[in-house]
Structure 1
Amino acid sequence: MVLGLLCLGFFSTGCKAIVATNNRNWAPDQAKLPIGVVQGDEITIHNVRNCRYVTSDDYVVQYYDKDIRLSDIETVDYVVVPFKDSPSVAHTMLSFGLSDGQYLVSSVEIRKEANEEYSAWKGFFNQYELMYVIGDERDVINLSSNYYKSDVYLYRTVAQPEQAQALFLDVIKRANKLAADPEFYHTVTNNCTTNIVSHVNKIAPKSVPYDMRILLPGYSDEYAYSLGLLDTSVPFEQLRSQSQINHLAERYRDDENFSEYIRR
């Protein structure tokens, strides 16, 4: 027991000496970081990801630059993807809806090196840099639903357009900061859900108090519901059932109107 604690302490101390960097041999789908150039209402987002998949490991990497108006952002949806082998844990994302019917997904992820895999245990010890993926739904949601074969729940939030815009702007600022000043991912304290909570609390202070359902984000949709951040006009279990989009994502995986159809 003592020897184990000493080893853990030594490993943790050694991790503190590791410096986060953006210069590694990255996996192709995470090789480019998104950067937003904000000029008043005009935003240019560089490196929007738009991969096309044959399998989860066989894909064509595509990026593009996108010009938007901040004022065109009208909605924000909350996406929950429970882990298949441990559904109390989940990957969470935000998807921002534009007035022209297009969507941009913000996904906070580990930045994998080539041939590297995710390990929650390694995530405690400065083994992964943190990154934001800004991508379209035919990439990010398709990947989770149709290629990883994970359950995907898509919830419309009650955020007003002004709140969705403020949230998106904060996401862009955070992505820009990581491009200039990289950080390490941490399994508990600096992950997809904690970053979303931080964004929400910046634009609406103290609206999401700390709760075990943040630590176990497979329950974070239930927590958001209890806080009134989602539609509460129906019972939560009914909302959750209605919000699972796998069957629609499968049916319309290659359709140019993918985002419209998964919301039917």
Structure 2
Amino acid sequence: MNINASFFAKIISIILFAAPAHAQQPGFSALEGMTAADLSIAVPADQLPESKKFGVTYRLNGVLTVDGEKILFNTADGRVFTLDMSLRKARGFDGQTVNVRAKAIAADDMGTLNVDEIELYDPAAHDIQLPPRQDKRRVARLVADGKSGMEVENVRWLYDAEPAEDKFDWATAKIRPELVKKVYFIKKPFPPEWLAAHSLFVFTFEDGGLTDANGSQASGLALTIEAFLREGEVYDLKTGLKDRFGIVWLLTTWEDYAARTALIDKARLIPYEVKFSRAQTAEMLREALRLSSVNRDGEFYHTVTNNCTNNLLILMNRVLPEKQRIRMWTIPYLVYNVRATMPVVVPGYLQGKGLLGPELGTIDTSNYKLPLD
């Protein structure tokens, strides 16, 4: 089924805000039986969530300090933000520990937080003990960034012949950007496939480009940006519009990701080559590793403005010349560009801009062990 961005935006708004009862269940599986004929309620595309200038939501505790005309916010883990709020209001909290709900411009531009809500810190309300994160995801940590390469902790690896659903291997990887070959945009469809998918990047390497501490090699490195789920949580599109799920920029080997997709998720992957020069690919790899290691505690995943796909395009923009950069907002800072955020629309959009090659077949149980190139 072919759909353009305008029609797709209407569909998303219908499903998220006016869907029939059978669609309002957790996860993509609730939408499996739906077809275009089910979407009989017309909801204007302009009812999609609008994020104004700031697209990434945070909820944080910290100390507010007024320094002249500047408002600073220090968290217990050492982060320092500038707050965008009324100076008069800020003076009422000067020197005190507060809880704020605020928004950053994007996942790579978090120095300033625009404050939506602020109140004095209350341990009973703002220091709630939450369940632990699910074992399958960890935050990467960049421990070395030099001429000999980059070292990153918490890269999910695969040491067994086949992955176990509840067992995960983790490694410290040495990555040599000068040995990167290509980068692929990968689409992972979910039912209904004309509507739903996940997306990720995979960087491929020459021999020695991606190794663990013992010298074991992997052919590719996947960057998959996901909701950072806790025990008992299940992701779904509608809940993803709320301040519910954390976010993680997860790094795994291609071997691990492909095997888990084919054998455990019973899904398939569709690759497209990103039409970057080798120098651009190496630079985007460096940017990906650095941004994967950013402390994102308190940051929320969002179905539209901070998700698996739009952050990949933000990464691309960091290495593209200004005239080629992807527009992230249809109306600047008012309406987010659906073609830059929804996985089923993005490949065609990027192909039209000359940034993505054709679909390169399907990766499934028959060929998941093969390298991408």
Select 1:27's aligned residue among 113, 118, 134: 134
Report the Cα offset of residue 33 of structure 1: 1.2
Q: Distance in 2 between matches of 1:45 and 1:21?
A: 30
Tell me the secondary structure at the aligned position of residue 87 of structure 1.
coil
Q: Distance in 2 between matches of 1:194 and 1:22?
A: 31
Q: Runs of at least 4 residues of structure 1 off by over 4 A?
A: 17-24
Tell me the secondary structure at the aligned position of residue 159 of structure 1.
coil
* 77 and 99 in structure 1: CA distance in 2 versus 1, 3 angstrom threshold: same
Report what 1:251 is aligned to: 366
Report the Cα offset of residue 167 of structure 1: 0.8
Gapped regions of structure 2 (runs ≥ 5): 1-16, 18-56, 60-99, 102-116, 118-124, 208-217, 329-336
Q: Distance in 1 between matches of 2:128 and 2:186?
A: 29
Report what 2:302 is aligned to: 186
TM-score normalized by structure 2?
0.56
Gapped regions of structure 1 (runs ≥ 5): 5-11, 232-238
Deviations 1:145-192 (CA, angstroms, capped at 9, x unpaired): 33222331011222112111111111112112135x541101110001
Count of residues paired in the alignment: 231
Report what 2:145 is aligned to: 39
Instruction: Report the residue type matching 2:351 in the other structure.
Output: Y
Instruction: Report the residue type matching 1:124 in the other structure.
Output: L
CA RMSD of aligned residues (A): 2.9
**Contact kept in structure 2, 1:131 and 1:178, CA below 8 Å:** no
**Contact kept in structure 1, 2:287 and 2:315, CA below 8 Å:** yes
Report the Cα offset of residue 20 of structure 1: 11
Select 2:352's aligned residue among 207, 221, 226: 226
* 21 and 110 in structure 1: CA distance in 2 versus 1, 3 angstrom threshold: farther
Report what 2:314 is aligned to: 198
Q: Distance in 2 between matches of 1:86 and 1:59?
A: 27
Tell me the secondary structure at the aligned position of residue 131 of structure 1.
strand
**Contact kept in structure 2, 1:77 and 1:154, CA below 8 Å:** yes
Report what 2:163 is aligned to: 53
Report the Cα offset of residue 228 of structure 1: 0.9
* 19 and 154 in structure 1: CA distance in 2 versus 1, 3 angstrom threshold: farther
Instruction: Report the residue type matching 2:189 in the other structure.
Output: P
Q: Distance in 1 between matches of 2:155 and 2:243?
A: 26
Q: Distance in 1 between matches of 2:269 and 2:192?
A: 14
Q: Distance in 2 between matches of 1:194 and 1:21?
A: 30
**Contact kept in structure 1, 2:220 and 2:255, CA below 8 Å:** no
Looking at secondary structure, tell me which structure has more helix per residue.
1
Tell me the secondary structure at the aligned position of residue 85 of structure 1.
coil
Q: Distance in 2 between matches of 1:20 and 1:216?
A: 34
Q: How does 1:87-126 map to 2 (within 5 A)?
A: 87-100=194-207, 102-126=219-243
Q: Distance in 1 between matches of 2:196 and 2:127?
A: 25
Identity between Structure 1 and Structure 2 (%): 19
Report what 2:272 is aligned to: 155
**Contact kept in structure 2, 1:27 and 1:113, CA below 8 Å:** yes
Select 1:84's aligned residue among 172, 182, 191: 191
Q: Distance in 1 between matches of 2:311 and 2:229?
A: 18
The structure, 1 or 2, with the larger RCO (C-alpha pairs under 8 Å, 6+ apart) is: 1
Q: How does 1:124-139 map to 2 (within 5 A)?
A: 124-139=241-256
Report the Cα offset of residue 28 of structure 1: 1.0
* 67 and 216 in structure 1: CA distance in 2 versus 1, 3 angstrom threshold: closer
Report what 1:8 is aligned to: none
